[in-house]
Amino acid sequence: MSQEIAVVGSPEFTTGFRLAGVRAFENVPEEQKDEELDDAVTETLEDENIGIVVMHDDDLDYLSRDVRQNVETSVEPVVVTLGGGAGSGGLREQIKRAIGIDLMEEDT
């Protein structure tokens, strides 16, 4: 079972996670996202030790169609995006996809 958390993004984004103890990360400078982000995300998704991948929501716009589809449909590792337009609805959907149930479902 995958246990490790990885962070992919700009050095500014990954630094806080690294200070909090996240050891797996891929730094992709802003000016190189068009060329390098696809490779960094693909490598992270293929790492069998990774259970959760954290990215900034805005970085999804830099991914190619195939890599973005892999990110959006990945169950293991689960990809969690933060910031941007993710909002609580986006996070709710990510949690639902990751564990298979809606924890915030209202009883009627």
Q: How confident is the model at residue 86 (pLDDT cuts 50, 70, 90)?
A: very low
What's the average model confidence in pLDDT over 70-97? 73
Q: How much of the chain exceeds pLDDT 90, in percent?
A: 63
Q: What is the CATH number of domain 4-99?
A: 3.40.50.10580
> Cα dihedral sign for 32, 81, 94, 2?
positive
Q: Where are the domains of the chain?
A: 4-99
Alpha helices in 20-74 (DSSP H): 33-46, 65-73
